[in-house]
Amino acid sequence: VDEEREQSAFREVMQPWIERFSAESNQIEFLSGLKSGFYATVLRLRSGSMLAMTTDGVGTKILIAREAQRYESVGIDCVANNVNDLICTGAEPLILLDYIATDRIEEHVMEELARGLYLGAELANVTIAGGEIAQVGAMLAPAEGGSPMFDLVGSALGAFPLSEQGTMRDVVDGSKVEPGDVIVGLPSSGLHSNGYSLARRALFEIGEATLDAIVPGSNETVVNELLEPTRIYVAAVSALWQHGIEPHGLVNISGGGLLNLGRMAADVCYTLDSLPVEPPIYSLIRDSGGIGLPVMYATFNMGVGFCVVVSEKQANRTLAILQDAGEDASVLGKVVNRPGKEVWIPALSLLGQGERFELST
Amino acid sequence: VDEEREQSAFREVMQPWIERFSAESNQIEFLSGLKSGFYATVLRLRSGSMLAMTTDGVGTKILIAREAQRYESVGIDCVANNVNDLICTGAEPLILLDYIATDRIEEHVMEELARGLYLGAELANVTIAGGEIAQVGAMLAPAEGGSPMFDLVGSALGAFPLSEQGTMRDVVDGSKVEPGDVIVGLPSSGLHSNGYSLARRALFEIGEATLDAIVPGSNETVVNELLEPTRIYVAAVSALWQHGIEPHGLVNISGGGLLNLGRMAADVCYTLDSLPVEPPIYSLIRDSGGIGLPVMYATFNMGVGFCVVVSEKQANRTLAILQDAGEDASVLGKVVNRPGKEVWIPALSLLGQGERFELST
């Protein structure tokens, strides 16, 4: 499972260097960086402004986009992956820069990518403020089938807004999460950008699915399911802040699936007893590839794209505000008073910690 | 000349979309973005803080690094390319995030890349605050020869420092450049990250050079010349600001070579009558590939890595401060009172504008 490793690889390899090079700047103070669970770098300038910055690509979903010659979706994803990470810190996204590595510049492909980026930007209320196109064909896989080969990476900047009283919003890192808190889930739109190496292997190498086949239990084709753009949760989370909800934790369910709950700072455990029914595309991936539930739940979002952890008292209002914002939000479970940052899914007997789920009987 | 197109490609393809999506945010004001010559996105937050952000990769220099199995240099370059762009706006670099796309994670390669990134960070006085490693082997060229194939991209954030009096430094965009101003050049260290597609074609496809050959007129091998890390000009430019010099223009000589002078806002022309002697690696590239001077000067830095444009009155102090900062700076020429943003090199009869030089007899 390639994607499982991606998340931790940066930390494993770079951590010694990050620690060696201490940030000795009189301009900034880091509020993240060395904390491994953070979704973005958070820093405070000497002027008092607090900023968050992140970088993320789209990964091998691009290969599906190439095969289908439909590029808008990965443009949206490039924005989504970055802003959905940024908002987990409490920051509001401001701008995004994009980097495209490609073997050649083909107008209609670039046009579709640009359209996707700008659709994503509108949904995320950010500006695409610049970027770079690098023609590095010799570094990219041969472009079979006539479409250019490319990679697409974004980097986004956000800021912590000042309240009317002039105070700065606290950085959200999950340290306020407490036993009894409620875990509210927001539906995903397909796989988002995660698990595509495993999905492609399961569907097309081990299994015999085709892009045009109908996904059993759905009215959609495989390609439509796989190219569903990643849902952008900026407006939903903004609505919470605007209505005075103070989220204890904000969790983008990206690579690692619901195990991402364990990235929050509080040393507690999570019981998820009301997960959504497995969406049909995951049943097909699981059946085609003969993949066990532990790997499925450690790789894919399984229908939940984003989690908000709030106090029990604020749970009903949180649900109402999210529903008003157009999200079909539901309570997935609750925070329990046990150390270890385990994620427990009783209906499936799955117990997870770190990067793995295991069957617990 | 692939690199010639890179610079303008983003603008050509993305500009219509940038214009369509106007930045309607009450949080920020853009001081760049729509101005095509800017080296970075410059924005002002509602809090008053002024920031600059940029993203850039290393390009096909990575292929030389792979062949030589020496990776530190491209790590340094990833930092250099971003911070050398940032400082052209007047901003001081703060942090850098890196993105590595790779077919596999090989410890010693990642270790060397990380070492390069951190050496670069020390020279640039920035912190590598985070990043992403994506395993996307199916999107990358087959890794012949045993070394992993990878791409390396950075994005950097800088801020405009407050003066002791609490005023913000002006954004530098070249609009203060005036006829009579002096163009001071700082030596490059080899090709930096620009023109490698042309260099590889000239040296190894058209010509018969090898990585281990000695470059005629030099004591260095081809591979050492090609893997020289990009010089980082942060300390030098910082020294100017600290000593009260107010640069009228700051120009990173990247893709496009000395034609980058024409990216400054002032509608003037530039006469360069004291360029450095052509470094030996360029003579070899030119001879091997049979490349004319117009293409050479529109692709490579030809020995000049960075330019500072100052008033004639401040020229001598500028030279002295740069020399104290360890730069072998020299006067290259001056700004002349003629519109058109032409770059004129009389000794070579080269007249340039936009992205091209032409022989002018």
Q: What is the pLDDT along chain B (361 residues), one digit of tens a residue?
A: 344 445 456 566 666 665 555 445 556 787 765 455 678 999 998 888 899 999 999 999 999 999 999 999 999 999 999 999 999 999 999 999 999 999 988 889 999 999 999 999 999 999 888 888 999 999 999 988 778 999 999 999 999 987 767 788 889 999 999 999 999 999 999 999 999 999 999 999 999 999 999 999 999 999 999 999 999 999 999 999 999 999 999 999 999 999 999 999 999 999 999 999 999 999 999 999 999 999 999 999 999 999 999 999 999 999 999 999 999 999 999 999 999 999 999 999 999 999 999 999 7
Residue A98 with chain B: CB contacts under 8 Å: 55
Task: Give the gap in angstroms from C-alpha B174 to the nearest C-alpha of chain A.
Answer: 19
List the single residue in A30, A125, A139 with the smallest CB-CB distance to B149: A139
Is the CB of B53 less than 8 angstroms away from the CB of A157? yes
User: pTM of the full predicted structure?
Assistant: 0.94
Residue A62, chain B, CB below 8 Å: the answer is yes
Task: Give the gap in angstroms from C-alpha B331 to the nearest C-alpha of chain A.
Answer: 31
Task: Give the gap in angstroms from C-alpha A105 to the nearest C-alpha of chain B.
Answer: 8
Is the CB of A10 less than 8 angstroms away from the CB of B40? no
Residue A124, chain B, CB below 8 Å: the answer is no
Nearest chain B alpha carbon to A23: B127
List the single residue in A111, A131, A141 with the smallest CB-CB distance to B141: A141
pLDDT tens-place string over residues A262-289: 999 999 999 999 999 999 999 999 999 9
Which of B:21-50 have CB within 8 Å of A? 21, 23, 25, 27-28, 30, 32-33, 38, 40-41, 43, 45-49
User: In this predicted model, which residue has the larger pLDDT, A242 or B163?
Assistant: A242
DSSP 8-state secondary structure symbol assigned to residue A170: P
| pLDDT of res. B169 | 87
| pLDDT of res. A162 | 79
Residue B159 with chain A: CB contacts under 8 Å: 27, 45, 47
Residue B123 with chain A: CB contacts under 8 Å: none
Is the CB of B153 less than 8 angstroms away from the CB of A99? yes
Task: Give the gap in angstroms from C-alpha B9 to the nearest C-alpha of chain A.
Answer: 6
Tokens of B47: 């809090």
Tokens of B103: 């077919």
Residue A320 C-alpha from the chain's centroid = 23
pLDDT tens-place string over residues A85-120: 999 999 999 999 999 999 988 889 999 999 999 999
The four Cα atoms A241, A245, A247, A251 give a dihedral, to 10 degrees, of -60
pLDDT tens-place string over residues A299-354: 999 999 999 999 999 999 999 999 999 999 999 999 999 999 999 999 999 999 99
ipTM above 0.90, yes or no: yes
Residue A50 with chain B: CB contacts under 8 Å: none
Three-state secondary structure of chain B: CHHHHHHHHHHHHHHHHHHHCCCCCCCEEECCCCCCCCCCEEEEECCCCEEEEEEEECCCHHHHHHHHCCCHHHHHHHHHHHHHHHHHHCCEEEEEEEEEEECCCCHHHHHHHHHHHHHHHHHHCCEEEEEEEEECHHHECCCHHHCCCEEEEEEEEEECCECCCCCECCCCCCCCCCCCCEEEEEECCCCCCCCHHHHHHHHHHHCCCCCCCECCCCCCEHHHHHCCCCCCCHHHHHHHHHCCCCCCEEEECCCCHHHHHHHCCCCCEEEECCCCCCCHHHHHHHHHHCCCHHHHHHHCCCCEEEEEEECHHHHHHHHHHHHHCCCCCEEEEEEECCCCCCEEEHHHCEEEECCEEEECC
Residue B166, chain A, CB below 8 Å: the answer is no
Residue A32 confidence (pLDDT) above 50: yes
